[in-house]
Structure 1
Amino acid sequence: MKIDLEAERLEILKRYRKLLRTAKPYLKDDDAKEIKKAFLLSAEAHKEMRRKSGEPYIYHPLAVAQICVEEIGLGPTSIIAALLHDVVEDTDTTLQEIEKMFNPKIAQIIDGLTKIAGTFEYGTSQQAENFRKMLLTLSDDIRVILIKLADRLHNMRTLESMAKEKQLKIASETIYLYAPLAHRLGLNAIKTELEDLGLKFTETEAYKEIAHKLMENKQNRESFVDQFIRPIKKSLDERGMKYTIKGRPKSIYSIYNKIKKSNTPFEKIYDLFAIRVVLDVPVEREKGECWEVYSIVTDHYRPNPSRLKDWVSTPKSNGYESLHTTVMSMPFGNDKEGRWVEVQIRTKRMDEIAEKGVAAHFKYKGTDTRTSQAFESWLSQVREALEMNDKSQSAVELVDDIKNSLYHEEVFVFTPKGKLVVLQAGATALDFAFEIHSEVGSHCIGAKVGGKLVPLSHKLSNGDQLEILTSSKQKPSEDWLRIVTTTKAKARIKDCIKEDNKGYLIQGRDVVEARLKHLGYPNLTLELTNQLRAYFNAKDANDLFYRFGKAYISVDQLKHWKSDKEMHERKQAEKSIKAPIVDSKSFKKEMQQVEKNRKESDILLIGEDMDKVDYTLAKCCNPISGDEVFGFVTINEGIKIHRTTCPNSPELLSRHGDRVIKAQWTSQIQMSFVVELTIRGIDRVGLVNDVTRVISDELKVNITALSIGVKDGLFEGKISLMIQDTSHLENLVSELEMVAGVIEVARED
């Protein structure tokens, strides 16, 4: 196909001019000239490059810059950095040249956005290292992460043109890390879109089904909203309030999660949308008028007292402010009964902060001290936690700690002097102690809540007032890591433990090296260390040597490791695998050598390739023929086949994308797989007999295990069966659902 270069040139200029028009309110002095200079440099640097879709590469940096200014509200520095964010990584242009052409700040931001080049030790994660590098820039400039989120959002919007396994890796990483990060930075619109797009590529059928059903009932939903808001609008108009009011559908991802968590079909989920009232009032009148609207809403509809959320008086730590209530509506239209409806009440300022997050927070900085204090408090916590983590903690460990602190509700507690402290829900008295001061946390022996003595593990509730008790003899222990939930507390405890454990690490390494020499291994190489880590299930090398040093693992166990290793190597030799497969590249190389005629030689055919590569089906998700799957190269157990919907897949794909390979089922070999089903329903005489008759007699399916429990007239059974493929399973589930009394049949992960 011939490319129309002139049409492309005009389209590039059109997109560039749109960017300048959108940015105009943010520009002053020579900003437009600097943006033009960045655009010309980027266009020249990327002129020979094209995206997977075939489009000119410059479309991407222009789109990222457009998202930065239009959807996040960032200024000229971020626009320039967004235009240049791939230049250093993909071309010969250096950071020093960019610093000379622009300024050190822009060079610093681009450095934070540039992926770490080079090779990584086996067992580490390139994604985690890059994420660590980006997170560490929080202490310098938060715009790095905002631009990275814009970059990820555009990549997700254009993911259709990528290969399937790439889609899976990028989408899983987005749901696992980037959507929670957007949530924590208050970027609600971006978080929602990232989650929905992530679901579109990881669970395509579920996404399409929910999207289709939302479209089907759109008219009924709109009719319901119109009738619901009519009396509220009338009352607001009578009081002369300036407002907008609308119904917003819940995101596909949040509906999917609700279906999955509560085992409720789409048709039975009633809170598919929320009503939002946005007031146009000055800052000083915001709180009073939000509560006035709450009063109006509850005059017309009865509220659920347990579902009132007041984030106007106490904003969330990402700056989010809103008043939420859930009320019971009257039956409207096709509804035969009332339904619960969530109503969100906020002002224009609060709405902008809720949608654009941190960028809007800085825009309003100084106009509302509550929001500023809450956000700055959270930012300082993250910075402190990051600064406490040095290279002695693995990037994977750091990402896990940060990731766990991204998505959470919050708990509001007080010091003895009445100072408010915001912590993540599930935080304990020990978390609170570390939040007050690291020294207070390190010497904490207990706490008092309302004058009553509580242990370190006491989970905090909203409104608790805490007094921390300390002792100079107290010091952190490993058990404390199981008590705390906040990143800051975990990082400080790990630092203290590391100091104490250095001796055990050295001792452990010495005994391992000595025993290995005795067993015929003169040097403790990186490969040997990784094999030992996998065998003894250690998180990293330090964890391995520490456990030997503390004698948690007996040094005699190394004899068992050696014999198991030799047996494994004999099996590998029998399969004639010349070199160990350690990542997707070495797998492709191996497959190209063993089968040169296959068109797609980098795909593992499950059922055919067992004699060529060492693979097994993962027990965590029990994949069966017909499931969408991928292969994952483990450290010491060959390739494991996982379902794309496996509970562990987001973590594997996000941390170690370089060890993921394409896999598909072959139709040439008949196989049987173990599947676990959970059956729920209303108990009756003969029900178990009917269920087993359908399975064994009518469908001739072999049952390998069966357990049934009955409580208060309801039964729940777990059945393990031998299934051929997904169509066989679907047929079985359909038949079981037709048995009288059976309400639900679900496949277990």
Structure 2
Amino acid sequence: MSLSSDLVDQIKTYNPDIDPALIERAIEYARVKHDGQVRASGEPYYTHPVEVAAILADMKMDPATIVTAILHDTLEDTDATMEELKKLFGDDVANMVNGVSKLSRIEGQTVEGKQAENFRKLVLAMSDDIRVLLVKLADRLHNMRTIHHIAKPEKQRRIARETLEIYAPLAERIGIHQIKEELEDRAFGVMNPEARESITNRLSYLRQEGTDMADTIIKALSKTLKDAGINGVVLGREKTRYSIWRKMQRKNVSFEQLSDIMAFRVLVDNVEQCYHVLGIIHSQYPTVPGRFKDYISTPKPNGYRSIHTTVIGPENQRIEVQIRTKDMNEEADLGVAAHWAYKGGASKADMKDARQFRWLRELLDLIENEQRPEEFLENTKLELFQDQVFVFTPKGDLMELPNGSTPVDFAYAIHSNVGDRCTGAKINGRIAPLNTKLQNGDQVDIITAKNQTPSPTWERFVATGKARSHIRRYVRQQQRDEYATLGRAMLQKVFQAEGYEYSEKGLAGILNQFRGAEVVDDILAGIGQGNFVARDVFRAIFPSHKAAPARKPNEMDVAEAGVTGRKAESSSRPMPIKGLIPGMAVHFARCCHPLPGDRIVGIVTTGKGVTIHTIDCETLENFADTPERWLDVSWGDGPDSPESHIGRIDVTIANVAGALGTISTVIGKNGGNITNLKITNRSLDFWDMILDVYVNDIKHLNNIIAALRATPQIASVQRSRGR
């Protein structure tokens, strides 16, 4: 078997102690199990996993990973079982094969949904042993090397797009640049073959014309180091075609305008020499401002360490110089795979390394919070694609966040509870709006409160997937609670109309009659959302009940409705605010209309007293430079019958007869009173309007909003912000 002997010989070059029988047994097992299966190229299928194993052997991986690669498709595509694999190859290999197996297709989902669910399962598998990801990346790399055998161009493009969006960023995140760059280049050739060919031709021309120039620069840098007594190696490295194309797109420049097609690398023995070389180069050649990065003192999240600087070097050429040790250079190519590479007669595998990356823990956190696989995939891309910004905690700890992050992202990066309870932030000692974009070197201090909850508006400006997933989870829960409250009220009304005392005990016995209902609240929320009909739920509880004839509303009903509608106007006792000096004049901001229950802040205005805003009011940005005017205030307990407040809501209604009357009826029945109405936009089918409603507090307003949302004539309703 030439395949097995070739693979064994390849492994022996770095691991002379390998047991050839183990590799041969695994290849024979794969050959037998995949018998009759062929690839698109016409080759026997088992040759594919052997080629995947060869890719991992190039990375000097340990025997367990090599065997896993050979067997990685047996569980999914053959009649092999976990018990059989454990018996023949051990628990470690069997568990990794199970993790890396191709995942079953999920019926009834979109292509995007299948991709997202498969990726979710991959993350779960690699969280237990990141070698699962190494095998998966090698598998994808061999598939990309043979992608030209796939007949359908649209399938080639789908695989290439998935490679660029998911697998290449994952390879970069664990630091395996050699796989990342080849995945990008091959996917680039499928997605944009004309651009790749054009850049290839231009690089070939430059290579012919500029060989002497590159050699001259290498010799000059080597002489500079030798004269300073540094024993270093200088290498020239051409940037990849895909990275050149991305830079052309990002900076909107032509190929001829790029000045750093070639990067030069200096390899030395230790960290001290790295900084010594940096000093020598900076003293010898002029530096280019803003082009210095020290990834040794602050490594990238994937563990990458190096010093990058750009100078006007020999021959007056602008060049990028990367300075690192030989060990750093090896880790830059192999990344996390270096932890499992066979060295000195033993594997350095340490299973703790599987969880050493914060981003991997973030992905696991996303899995717990996201309701739909598509949301998980979307937020994962946020985590993978962003460049980093480095900021500090008040204790001086360094935190890396995606570029464009805000204090809310910072709070969630510390801990999900800190993010949920965030009320404000200080950046470099000064209070700043929560949507402020953080800069490198900022010191961030998060202000929290026990009763704080995430604001739905945060989702507009957060940059991390973790923050977005937590905010969405809270919003979903709030909506569910509102719908459940509304559904309960609707069901109570049916019970009352039929002469029964309301009880939720009977709901538990009818869960199986309503699709998707697992707990009682699922039924109540379904009623509030309009998915279930309250009377149908009542009939399910009392199947033998005969409905009483409908009665007309009597004068008592009308009188009760009138009292309810006037309740907001009859109250005049004030709601105290904590944190103010007694006797200080208080005004409620008309831009955000704060209500009891909102998180609030006071702004001192000369001659006017204190204006109360909601903590997320956009107007507060105007006071960011005057923190001395900010007051920490909160709503007091208040009397039993608090003062009425104005709550402003945006409503979109269908342009049908009676729609306005329905709105006023629903608001009146829920204890509110319309004090002002303004139509902001008219179209053939819908009207947009702003309503000012007297309410007691935020809970009261939310109840009214929930009731309006359940009204068929209303397309959308939400609390108004910033008007």
Q: Which TM class, normalised by the smaller chain length?
A: 0.5 to 0.7
Aligned equivalent of 1:144: 132
Select 2:429's aligned residue among 422, 426, 451. 451
1:247 is paired with a residue whose SS is strand
Q: Which amino acid aligns with 1:86?
A: D
For residues 484-509 of structure 1, give each alpha carbon's deviation from its aligned partner in whole angstroms, at most 9, with x where no partner exists. Answer: 22233333333433433323465574
Report if the CA contact (8 A) 2:407-2:434 is conserved.
Answer: yes
- Where does residue 305 of structure 1 map in the other structure? 289
What is the deviation of 1:343?
Answer: 0.7
Give the letter aligned to residue 187 of structure 2.
G
Q: For residue 53 of structure 2, what is the aligned residue in structure 1?
A: 65
SS across alignment from 2:384 = coil
Report which stretch shifted further, 487-496 or 253-262: 487-496
What is the CA-CA distance between 1:362 and the residue it aligns to? 6.1
Q: Is the 8 A contact 2:34 2:46 kept in 1?
A: yes
Contact 2:56 2:138 in 1 (8 A): yes
- What is the alpha-carbon distance in structure 2 between the residues aligned to residue 432 and residue 413 of structure 1? 9
2:189 aligned residue (195, 200, 214): 200
Per-residue CA deviations over 1:528-576 (Å, capped at 9, x if unaligned) read xxxxxxxx9xxxxxxxxx9996856963379xxxxxxxxxxxxxxxxxx
Helix, strand or coil: the match of 1:417? Answer: coil
Find out whether 1:268 has 2:275 as its counterpart.
no
Aligned residue in 1 for 2:101: 114
Match of 1:129 in 2: 117
Matches within 5 A, 1:608-647: none
Structure 2: distance between partners of 1:22 and 1:548: 71
Match of 1:16 among 4, 7, 10: 7
Contact 1:328 1:340 in 2 (8 A): yes
Report the AA paired with residue 145 of structure 1.
Answer: L
Q: Does residue 292 in structure 1 map to residue 276 in structure 2?
A: yes
2:29 & 2:354 partners in 1: Cα distance? 36
Structure-2 separation of matches of 1:70 and 1:550: 64
Match of residue 709 from structure 1: none
The one-letter code of the counterpart of 1:251 is: T
Q: Which residue of 1 aligns with 2:22?
A: 34
- The 1:91/1:22 distance shift into structure 2, 3 A limit, reads farther
- 2:231 equivalent in structure 1: 242
Tell me if the contact between 1:185 and 1:358 (Cα under 8 Å) persists in the aligned partners.
Answer: yes
Structure 1 pair 91–440 and aligned structure 2 pair: CA distance change class (3 A)? same
Question: Is the 1:389–1:398 Cα contact (8 Å) retained in structure 2?
Answer: yes
Q: 1:461 to 1:259 in 2, by over 3 A?
A: closer
Overall identity of the aligned pairs, in %: 39
State the TM-score, normalizing by the size of structure 2: 0.64
CA distance 1:313–1:380, shift in 2 (3 Å): closer
Compared with structure 1, are the counterparts of its residues 39 and 505 closer, same or farther at alpha carbon in structure 2 (3 Å cutoff)? farther
Q: Tell me, yes or no, if the aligned pair for 2:52 and 2:138 is still in contact at 8 Å.
A: yes
Mapped partners of 1:444, 1:93: distance in 2 = 51
Q: Does 1:55 align with 2:46?
A: no
1:516–1:422 CA distance, 2 compared to 1 (3 A): same
| Partner of residue 62, structure 2 | 75
Unaligned runs of 5+ in 1: 1-8, 332-337, 366-371, 519-535, 537-545, 559-749
CA contact (8 A) 1:427 1:486 kept: yes
Higher alpha-carbon deviation: 476-485 or 13-22: 13-22
CA contact (8 A) 2:105 2:114 kept: no
SS of aligned partner of 1:383: helix
**Residue 477 of structure 1 corresponds to which residue in structure 2?**
455
CA distance in 2 between partners of 1:487 and 1:405 (Å): 6
Partner of 1:211: 200
Give 1:17 deviation, angstroms: 3.1
Listed as ranges, the matches of 1:576-591 within 5 Å are: none
Which residue among 512, 535, 548 is the counterpart of 2:530? Answer: 512
Change (3 A) 1:419 1:387: closer
Give the superposition deviation at 1:46.
2.1
AA in 1 matched with 2:90: N
Aligned-pair distance for 1:15? 3.2
Asked if the contact 2:61/2:341 (under 8 Å) is kept, the reply is no
What's the offset of the Cα at 1:196?
A: 0.7
Pick closer, same or farther for the CA change 1:361–1:460 going to 2, 3 Å: farther
Q: Give secondary structure in 2 for the equivalent of 1:318.
A: coil
Which protein is bigger by CA-based radius of gyration? 2
- Give yes or no for contact 1:381–1:488 (8 Å, CA) kept in 2: no
**Cα gap change, 1:329/1:211 in structure 2, threshold over 3 Å: closer, same or farther?**
same
1:514-541 residue CA offsets vs partner (Å, 9 max, x unmatched): 68999xxxxxxxxxxxxxxxxx9xxxxx
- Provide the rounded CA distance (Å) in 2 between the counterparts of 1:377 and 1:96: 27
For the residues of structure 2 that align with 1:381 and 1:265, how far apart are their CA atoms?
Answer: 35
What's 2:298 paired with?
314
Distance 1:415 1:391 in 2: 25
In the superposition, relative to structure 1, how do residues 382 and 549 fare at CA in structure 2: closer, same or farther (>3 Å)?
A: farther
SS of residue paired to 2:144 = helix
Asked if residue 231 in structure 1 is aligned to residue 220 in structure 2, the reply is: yes
In 2, Cα distance between the equivalents of 1:240 and 1:309? 25
The secondary structure found in structure 2 opposite 1:105 is: helix
Contact 1:547 1:553 in 2 (8 A): no
Q: What is the aligned-residue RMSD (CA, Å)?
A: 3.2
> SS where residue 456 of structure 2 aligns?
coil
* Contact 1:409–1:424, Cα closer than 8 Å, also in 2: yes
The one-letter amino acid paired with 1:237 is K
Distance 2:411 2:386 in 1: 20
> Which of 149, 155, 170 pairs up with 1:166?
155
Letter in 1 for 2:440: N
State the distance in 2 between where 1:324 and 1:364 align.
Answer: 30
* Residue 45 (structure 1) aligned to one of 30, 33, 39: 33
Alpha-carbon spacing, 1:480–1:296, altered in 2? closer, same or farther (3 Å) = same
The equivalent position to 1:253 in structure 2, one of 230, 238, 242, is: 242
Letter in 2 for 1:38: A
Structure 2 unmatched runs, 5+: 344-349, 488-524, 537-685, 687-702, 716-723
Give distance in 2, aligned partners of 1:222 and 1:288. Answer: 32
Corresponding residue number in structure 1 for 2:713: 556
Distance 2:30 2:353 in 1: 34
Who is 1:86 aligned against? 73
2:367 aligned to 386, 389, 407, which one?
Answer: 389
CA displacement, residues 270-312 of structure 1 (integer Å, 9 cap, x when unaligned) = 2111011111x1xxxx222111111222233211131000011
Using a 3 Å threshold, how does the CA distance of structure 1 residues 90 and 376 change in structure 2: closer, same or farther?
A: closer
* Aligned CA distance change for structure 1 residues 260 and 547 (closer, same or farther; 3 Å): farther
CA distance in structure 2 between the partners assigned to 1:438 and 1:159 by the alignment: 42
User: Mapping of 1:728-743 within 5 angstroms?
Assistant: none
> Which structure's relative contact order is higher, taking Cα pairs within 8 Å and 6+ residues apart?
1
Q: Is the 8 A contact 1:156 1:194 kept in 2?
A: yes
In structure 2, C-alpha distance between the alignment counterparts of 1:99 and 1:250, rounded to whole Å: 44
What are the Cα deviations for residues 661-697 of structure 1, in whole angstroms up to 9, with x where unaligned? xxxxxxxxxxxxxxxxxxxxxxxxxxxxxxxxxxxxx
Residue pair 1:429, 1:456 contacting (<8 A) in 2 also: yes
**8 Å contact 1:116–1:129 — kept in the other structure?**
no
Which position in structure 1 is the counterpart of 2:335? 357
Look up the SS of the partner of 1:485 in the other structure.
coil
Query: Normalised by the size of structure 1, how large is the TM-score?
Result: 0.62
Partner deviation per Cα, 1:230-262 (whole Å, 9 max, x = no partner): 222112223443332121111100111222333
Match of 1:500 in 2: 478
Q: Structure 2 vs 1, CA of residues 557 and 443 (structure 1 numbering), >3 Å: closer, same or farther?
A: closer
Q: Partner of 1:699 in structure 2?
A: none
2:413 to 435, 446, 452: 435
Residue 89 of structure 1: how far off its partner (Å): 1.5
CA displacement at 1:264 relative to structure 2: 2.4
Cα distance in structure 2, aligned partners of 1:453 and 1:550 = 38
CA displacement at 1:403 relative to structure 2: 1.6
Code of the aligned partner of 1:397:
E
**Change in 2 beyond 3 A, CA 1:486/1:513:** closer
What is the correspondence of 1:340-739 to structure 2 with a 5 Å cutoff? 340-361=318-339, 379-387=357-365, 389-390=367-368, 393-504=371-482, 509-510=526-527, 511-513=529-531, 555-556=712-713
Distance 1:236 1:553, change over 3 A: farther
Alignment-mate amino acid for residue 270 of structure 1: S
